């Protein structure tokens, strides 16, 4: 098998490290968002904010969140997964605050975990592909040679 260029190995290692740097700190948040694990309450839609992209519009509702027990009250939060047709100004809906600044989630959670899981899998996959052979060689079985 041909040896890889040290520069190629270094670049792939940096890419893997960067992906892991982005993914690992967000694992807990992604799991909480997926499970809608947090303080339940009500999101009141106040303002629709839209960004125009070539051939596409991305909108999100910004408003207020109040937890059911009254311990959390935040304004200026986005409702994850909302779009132009989700709500009307002043309309309330069930939501969950998972502790992420600036965003709340519907009671059904989110699919954000998929992107975090992909970054984690790709980063670990690159490292395993790059260094897996070396690990197998250093931790491989050693045959016992009988002493005479």
Residues 3-18 pLDDT 10s: 778 899 999 999 999 9
Same domain, 19 and 81: no
Predicted local confidence at residue 142, as pLDDT: 56
Whether 95 contacts 62, CB under 8 Å: no
What's the domain range around 85? 38-108
DSSP string, 50-95: EEEETTEEEEEEEEEEEETTSS-EEEEEEETT--TTT--TT-EEEE
Tell me, what's the pLDDT at 102? Answer: 93
Residue segments in the chain with a per-residue pLDDT below the cut of 70: 1-2, 134-148
Same domain, 29 and 56: no
Q: Please give the pLDDT value at position 36.
A: 93
Please indicate, yes or no, whether residues 9 and 61 belong to a single structural domain of this protein: no
User: Which SS3 state, helix, strand or coil, does residue 14 take?
Assistant: helix
pTM listed for this prediction: 0.75
Question: Do 61 and 79 belong together in one domain?
Answer: yes
Q: How many domains does the chain have?
A: 2
**DSSP 8-state secondary structure symbol assigned to residue 101:** T
pLDDT for res 3: 76
The pLDDT of residue 53 is: 86
43 and 15 share one domain: no
């Amino acid at each position: 098998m041909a040896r890889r260029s040290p520069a190629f190995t270094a670049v792939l290692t940096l890419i893997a490290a960067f992906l892991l740097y982005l993914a690992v700190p967000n694992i807990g948040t992604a799991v909480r968002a997926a499970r809608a694990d947090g303080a339940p309450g009500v999101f009141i839609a106040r303002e629709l904010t839209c960004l125009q992209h070539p051939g596409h519009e991305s909108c999100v509702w910004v408003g207020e969140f109040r937890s059911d027990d009254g311990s959390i009250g935040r304004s200026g939060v986005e409702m994850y997964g909302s779009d132009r047709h989700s709500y009307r100004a002043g309309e309330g809906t069930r939501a969950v605050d998972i502790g992420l600044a600036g965003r709340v989630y519907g009671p059904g959670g989110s699919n954000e975990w998929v992107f975090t899981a992909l970054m984690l899998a790709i980063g670990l996959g690159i490292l395993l592909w790059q260094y897996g052979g070396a690990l197998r060689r250093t931790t491989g079985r050693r045959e016992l040679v009988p002493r005479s």
